[in-house]
Amino acid sequence: MSNKMQSKGKSKKNRKTDEEVIQIIRNLRLIDDVLFEKFMEDAAACEELLQVILEKSRLKVKPETLVAQKSTW
Protein backbone atom coordinates (compact mmCIF):
# COMPACT_ATOMS: atom_id res chain seq x y z
CA MET A 1 0.00 0.00 0.00
CA SER A 2 1.36 3.40 -0.93
CA ASN A 3 1.99 6.15 1.61
CA LYS A 4 -0.66 8.27 -0.10
CA MET A 5 -3.32 5.62 0.47
CA GLN A 6 -2.21 5.08 4.08
CA SER A 7 -2.47 8.80 4.85
CA LYS A 8 -5.98 8.91 3.35
CA GLY A 9 -7.08 6.09 5.64
CA LYS A 10 -5.60 7.79 8.68
CA SER A 11 -7.34 11.08 7.95
CA LYS A 12 -10.71 9.32 7.71
CA LYS A 13 -10.12 7.67 11.09
CA ASN A 14 -9.26 11.03 12.66
CA ARG A 15 -12.37 12.77 11.34
CA LYS A 16 -15.03 13.50 13.90
CA THR A 17 -18.65 12.49 13.46
CA ASP A 18 -21.35 15.15 13.40
CA GLU A 19 -22.35 14.17 16.92
CA GLU A 20 -18.77 14.57 18.17
CA VAL A 21 -18.48 18.00 16.55
CA ILE A 22 -21.81 19.10 18.06
CA GLN A 23 -20.64 17.95 21.50
CA ILE A 24 -17.39 19.91 21.14
CA ILE A 25 -19.35 23.03 20.17
CA ARG A 26 -21.73 22.60 23.10
CA ASN A 27 -18.77 22.50 25.47
CA LEU A 28 -17.27 25.76 24.18
CA ARG A 29 -17.43 28.86 26.37
CA LEU A 30 -16.88 32.47 25.35
CA ILE A 31 -13.49 32.40 27.07
CA ASP A 32 -12.29 29.69 24.63
CA ASP A 33 -10.09 31.28 21.95
CA VAL A 34 -11.85 29.72 18.98
CA LEU A 35 -15.31 30.85 20.02
CA PHE A 36 -14.15 34.28 21.22
CA GLU A 37 -12.41 35.00 17.89
CA LYS A 38 -15.57 34.12 15.96
CA PHE A 39 -17.81 36.03 18.37
CA MET A 40 -15.75 39.20 18.13
CA GLU A 41 -15.99 39.28 14.33
CA ASP A 42 -19.56 40.51 14.81
CA ALA A 43 -19.57 44.27 15.48
CA ALA A 44 -22.85 44.17 17.41
CA ALA A 45 -21.63 41.36 19.66
CA CYS A 46 -18.31 43.14 20.22
CA GLU A 47 -20.14 46.36 21.04
CA GLU A 48 -22.47 44.70 23.54
CA LEU A 49 -19.65 42.88 25.31
CA LEU A 50 -17.61 46.08 25.62
CA GLN A 51 -20.66 48.00 26.89
CA VAL A 52 -21.16 45.43 29.65
CA ILE A 53 -17.48 45.18 30.62
CA LEU A 54 -16.87 48.93 30.56
CA GLU A 55 -20.31 49.79 31.97
CA LYS A 56 -20.87 52.32 29.17
CA SER A 57 -24.25 51.65 27.61
CA ARG A 58 -23.79 54.36 24.97
CA LEU A 59 -20.47 53.02 23.69
CA LYS A 60 -20.54 52.39 19.93
CA VAL A 61 -18.22 50.25 17.83
CA LYS A 62 -17.58 51.20 14.21
CA PRO A 63 -17.56 47.95 12.20
CA GLU A 64 -14.82 49.27 9.91
CA THR A 65 -12.51 49.64 12.93
CA LEU A 66 -12.65 45.94 13.85
CA VAL A 67 -9.43 44.08 13.10
CA ALA A 68 -9.44 40.31 13.49
CA GLN A 69 -6.54 38.87 15.42
CA LYS A 70 -5.93 35.16 15.56
CA SER A 71 -4.63 33.28 18.54
CA THR A 72 -1.14 31.85 18.16
CA TRP A 73 -2.11 28.59 19.86
Tell me if 61 is assigned to some domain: yes
Q: Is residue 72 in some structural domain?
A: no
For the chain, helix (H) and strand (E) counts, in that order, are 4, 0
Q: Number of folded domains in the chain?
A: 1
Helices (H), the chain: 3-14, 18-27, 33-39, 43-54
Let me know if residue 70 belongs to a domain: no
pLDDT at 58: 96
Q: Rounded to two decimals, what is the model's pTM?
A: 0.55
Please report, in tens digits, the pLDDT of each residue of the chain (73 residues total).
444 555 454 556 678 888 998 998 899 888 888 888 888 888 999 899 999 999 999 999 888 888 777 767 6
Domain that holds residue 29: 3-65
The most distant pair of C-alpha atoms in the chain lies apart, rounded to whole Å, by 64
Burial 27-37 (b: 16+ CB within 10 A, else e): eeeeeeeeeee
Instruction: Report if residue 11 sits inside a domain.
Output: yes
On whether residue 71 sits in a domain, the answer given is no
How far apart (Å, rounded) are the C-alpha atoms in residues 47 and 32? Answer: 19
Give residue 12's pLDDT. 62
